[in-house]
Amino acid sequence: MSEIEEEAFRLIQSKPEGVLQSELWKLLNIDSRKCSRIVKKLIDSDQVERIEYKSDGVKTYLLKAKRRAIEPELLLAGGELLPCIGCEEECSVEECPHLMDWMYQLAIDEFSEKNPD
């Protein structure tokens, strides 16, 4: 992926509500034709979806990043799966004892890797 394509994808990805294609080329400081080619590449690579959108009677497209698969190793700490996966308890992140224990285990594992006996 080229630098401008990566920048376009990051911009789209940074806005969960999406970015209008008619605004994207202005944000990237490129012409609309080049923007169309970039958007086509992002759609073809299945990174972005394009939804028809009318703004003040003018047809444009809303661009939204597709969700990326989570890397499994990011859900593990010390061989333990992130406790929030499948959790049915209604709690807040700041007060969840299961999540805090998991985070402590992650910190201990990282410290142990950096400071072997």
Pairing of strands 80-81, 58-65: unpaired
Pairing of strands 19-20, 58-65: antiparallel
pLDDT tens-digit readout, 63-74: 999 876 566 666
The yes-or-no verdict on residue 30 having pLDDT over 90 is yes
In which band, very low, low, confident or very high, does the pLDDT at 87 lie, cut at 50, 70 and 90? confident
**Which of 59, 73, 68 is closest to 9 using CA atoms?**
68
Cβ atoms of 104 and 87 within 8 Å: the answer is no
Backbone angles phi, psi at 49, to 5 degrees: -115, 150
Cβ atoms of 84 and 100 within 8 Å: the answer is no
Cβ atoms of 21 and 61 within 8 Å: the answer is yes
Distance separating the N- and C-terminal Cα atoms of the chain: 43
| Whole-number percent of the chain with pLDDT over 70 | 91
The yes-or-no verdict on residue 3 having pLDDT over 90 is yes
